Amino acid sequence: MAGIVKVVGTGPGDENYITPIGLETIKLAEILVGGQRLLDTFANDGQEQFPVDKDLKKAIEYINEKRYSKNIVVLVSGDTGIYSLANYLTKHIDPDDLEFIPGISSIQLMFARIKKPWNEAQILSMHGRTLDIVVEVVKQSKMTALLTGSPWTPQKIADYLISEGVLDMKVIVGKDLSYPWEILIDTTLQELAKVEEDYSNSVMVILNE
Ligand SMILES: C[S@@+](CC[C@H](N)C(=O)[O-])C[C@H]1O[C@@H](n2cnc3c(N)ncnc32)[C@H](O)[C@@H]1O
């Protein structure tokens, strides 16, 4: 249908984790819009590509210019419903003109890895946030799952929680989930605060047991 923009949740990263319907939708696209990493992973020969950077307004302008004449698909990481560009699109494009195809979230995969249900977890993203909100959430929840991101690395979060008087708790960090080089670090807040490795692209689960 003319004007409709499909938004595909591509899963946590590795191409084995995208759904068949997501993959089929991408194959049929004439234009793909998304972060460079997603374009590099999922674009097919002959598809026009528009890399999304920090200038989201420019991406909306481009989508609106093209969507009535071309089959356009927006790629987002993980699921469309968790801290995603998909939500921004609903604020700038009539939601009736959007179709979301969900994907496996990094949060979902993390809970599968640690074999715990995520229905009771509090989920927060640290992207562009201040840390004060996390302290209360961690103290009051049995399980907190954090999407870590610049400037808040798992180590900085652990360090801050300790400095705010949060008792030592069990923590699991899942880095680069779904990729062959994925790692899970099973530790505690105090131990994590001392580690110097690069844990970017991680989900952090804090257990208040
Ligand atoms: C902007 S959020 C997007 C979340 C995405 N919509 C989802 O459902 O996973 C990006 C954050 O998700 C987490 N993330 C995304 N992919 C990941 C992966 N493969 N392994 C670990 N964490 C990941 C990281 O915390 C990253 O900073």
Please report the pLDDT score of residue 209 as a whole number: 87
Please state, in angstroms and as integers, the Cα–Cα distance from residue 65 to each residue in 47, 50, 74, 121, 136, following that order: 17, 12, 14, 40, 44
Judge if 117 and 63 occupy the same domain. no
pLDDT digit string, tens, across residues 49-74: 999 998 999 999 999 999 999 999 99
How many angstroms is it from 6 CA to the middle of ligand 1? 20
Q: What is the number of structural domains in the chain?
A: 2
Q: Residue 170's pLDDT band (boundaries 50, 70, 90)?
A: very high
Contact indicator for 132, 163 with CB cutoff of 8 Å: no
Judge if 93 and 111 occupy the same domain. no
Round the average pLDDT of the chain to a whole number and report it: 95
Q: Is the pLDDT of residue 171 over 80?
A: yes
Where among 56, 75, 104 does a domain terminate?
104
Please report the pLDDT score of residue 130 as a whole number: 79
Where among 104, 121, 139 does a domain terminate?
104
What CA–CA distance (Å, rounded) separates 125 from 61? 27
- Establish whether residue 203 lines the binding site of ligand 1, counting it when its CB lies within 6 angstroms of any ligand atom: yes
Please report the pLDDT score of residue 133 as a whole number: 86
Judge if 85 and 167 occupy the same domain. no
- Establish whether residue 32 lines the binding site of ligand 1, counting it when its CB lies within 6 angstroms of any ligand atom: no
Judge if 201 and 123 occupy the same domain. yes
Tokens for 91? Answer: 């604020």
Where among 53, 87, 104 does a domain terminate?
104
Contact indicator for 79, 60 with CB cutoff of 8 Å: no
CATH number at residue 137: 3.30.950.10
Mean pLDDT of 179-189: 97
Q: Which atom of ligand 1 is nearest to the CA of 103?
A: 8
Judge if 98 and 115 occupy the same domain. no
pLDDT digit string, tens, across residues 112-169: 999 999 998 999 998 777 788 899 999 999 999 999 988 899 999 999 999 999 999 9
Question: Over pLDDT 70: what percentage of the chain?
Answer: 100
Please report the pLDDT score of residue 1 as a whole number: 67
Judge if 61 and 134 occupy the same domain. no
Domain that holds residue 27: 5-104
Judge if 81 and 160 occupy the same domain. no
What is the β-pairing status of strands 98-101 and 143-147? unpaired
Please report the pLDDT score of residue 2 as a whole number: 84
Tell me the best of 38, 77, 127, 206 to mutate to test the pocket of ligand 1, counting ligand atoms within 8 Å of each CB and taking the most: 77
Tokens for 147? Answer: 């999407």
Judge if 99 and 122 occupy the same domain. no
Judge if 170 and 126 occupy the same domain. yes
Q: Count CB atoms within 10 A of the CB of residue 79.
A: 22
Q: Count CB atoms within 10 A of the CB of residue 144.
A: 22
Judge if 143 and 201 occupy the same domain. yes
